[in-house]
Chain A
């Protein structure tokens, strides 16, 4: 079966700064991939580029998703095709309720799939059925999107959105940063509950601790815009023990 996502020799820059410098990655349905690496190595850029953030320009290589090159697709078209990015810094949208926003998003995706839109009443039922997953009460649905939310609440909201939108490919961009232990557990439980044979997760993280909760099939180390080492979940433990220098040093020397 063809891979869900296949990245070949991807090069991308922000302004004049080249960040991704020939990156290869293959993700099959049903898999969880962890992307680790030091600050500034390009982890978040990778997630943003896959989602289509306009600040980045692809200068080489390709991103094949479900057999299609993503380069020509608008961010919303990628979202409608099942790509979801859980943001590191989710934005606030004052005055717009979670229920309204999520229904708008949900219906856009349904429309793209040729399905009927859901009316507010039915959608509210769906939304409330997902609240348990992130251990939230019904009051959350009428709060404005992320407005005045704590860092942890914003991340939980990302997981709630993911639960509603049911992506095929979910990119979690440092979803664990700034989370306390309880919030980390809630977020990880949410992700685990949503894992299915037909979807895949790319989890960008600094720390091994998230991977105790979301157990990856593959761990990749990103350094200076390239994947310098790939392995199983034990690689994360090795990184925890040794740090990144033993891998990144080699890259810098050869560069």
Chain B
């Protein structure tokens, strides 16, 4: 147990924070009362408070894990503010008041002006009526029985679904950060697609995030009932201006019999400055459960931001003949560190999984692939294909691979391919000789390298990912 936690546990309970209720902010620090406060503030039912408290108590007994291949200064959990009202920063009057560097990035991304305003927190005029856009989608989805709302709303409107599935994939005491999230999560997204319904559009956090700024401990729960299909996009494309912030989210996916969930992420949180100061610690637990037979869960992620990325979107292949997929591009440039990969846990018969991981290291970036393929005794005929490619740009970066394979059934078939390549002077010269400048040349080579992952992304997301990759590798070859 860390000192700060111990101090807190032994410390006499203080009521001081109550006076701050009016201002919707509590002093930094975590205690059982803070957990109670959050739950009460959100008007949660008793089961959820109990669940949070249980998570908090198990968190107290846990220690922060240090097995990943990343280095960072100690996190003082007592200096974090665990509840503050949605960060409604004072709306800015116009784009002139926004950090020009931020705008430059938006322009490079090709984000339209109106969206730039929304992302930077500028009050939006009537041209883009986000409320009515959101509402019209909501109406259409509602008619099909699809629930797509904030987590808080789901707790109020559909407590039975929340109670049934919350923690069913990532238990409250799963790991240190998941336990922390379970205790204090502020809000997040909730999706339920009923039996046999094919969600007619990609569901995106984009619209919802416009409406309310979710905090650093988000909770996402997606349930696809029997035969349902849904594609969910998580875009973190707005560069965050916050400094050195812990982002400990939890995402749980549940696919019942014959259901398909496709979850795509393009993450571009603030990576810190050139000296490695600031930036997001992106310590996220993402896991899906193929609970029913012939269900399928597919993760696609493009991780270009954050000072540290530490996450393993995983699939528990419980249903017979269920399918798990993981397609990943992770970039570590400058002083960025990434330790990411997946876990495919084959429990059911005839289960299949595919892992395609592309790690790009540049500058002084350190990129690790860490993956586990586990075949349980009952998983007859299970199959896994893993492809793990690393690309190095420059000679001060690093690529590391930690594949774990645990096979407990002899009928399983596993393939593992790995490669490491380096963008060489000759490759760049070839493209330059054809008229492309260095940045463009690198972008072409890197996008080719990532093609197998990008083609899994929805069209407009893929375009965005390609641009992001170009931006995040800018200046990586000196």
Contact = CB atoms under 8 A, between A and B. Distances in A.
Contacts of B450: 95
B425 A93 contact: no
Interface stretch (B87-95, B98-106, B426-434): B426-434
Main secondary structure on chain B at its contact with chain A?
Answer: helix
Interface stretch (B48-56, B258-266, B287-295, B437-445): B437-445
A112 B452 CA distance: 32
A76 B450 CA distance: 24
Given A79-B432, A79-B434, A165-B434, 16 more contacts: A76-B435, A78-B433, A79-B435, A87-B430, A90-B430, A91-B424, A93-B430, A93-B431, A93-B444, A95-B447, A95-B449, A101-B431, A104-B436, A104-B440, A104-B444, A165-B435
Interface stretch (A38-46, A47-55, A128-136, A247-255): A47-55
B451 interface: yes
A109 interface: yes
B197 to A, nearest CB: 36
A124 interface: no
Contact of A109 (B435, B447, B448): B435
Most buried by B among A80, A100, A106, A108: A108
A101 B424 CA distance: 18
Interface string B160-185: 00000000000000000000000000
Interface of B: 424-427, 429-438, 440, 444-445, 447-452
Interface in A69-99: 74-76, 78-80, 84-85, 87, 89-91, 93-96
A76 B436 contact: yes
B452 A79 contact: no
A161 interface: yes
B51 to A, nearest CB: 45
Interface in A136-167: 144, 161, 165
Interface residues of A, number: 32
Given A55-B425, A91-B430, A80 B435 contact: yes
A76 B437 contact: yes
A101 B432 contact: no
A53 B436 contact: no
Nearest to B389: A94
B435 A96 contact: no
A55 B448 CA distance: 25
A206 B451 CA distance: 39
A228 interface: no
Contacts of B430: 87, 90-91, 93
A112 B440 CA distance: 15
Contacts of A106: 435
Contacts of A89: 426
Given A95-B447, A96-B447, A75 B432 contact: yes
A76 B432 contact: yes
A25 interface: no
A84 B437 CA distance: 15
A89 B445 CA distance: 17
Contact of B429 (A53, A101, A165): A53
A93 B436 contact: no
A237 interface: no
A211 interface: no
A94 B449 contact: yes
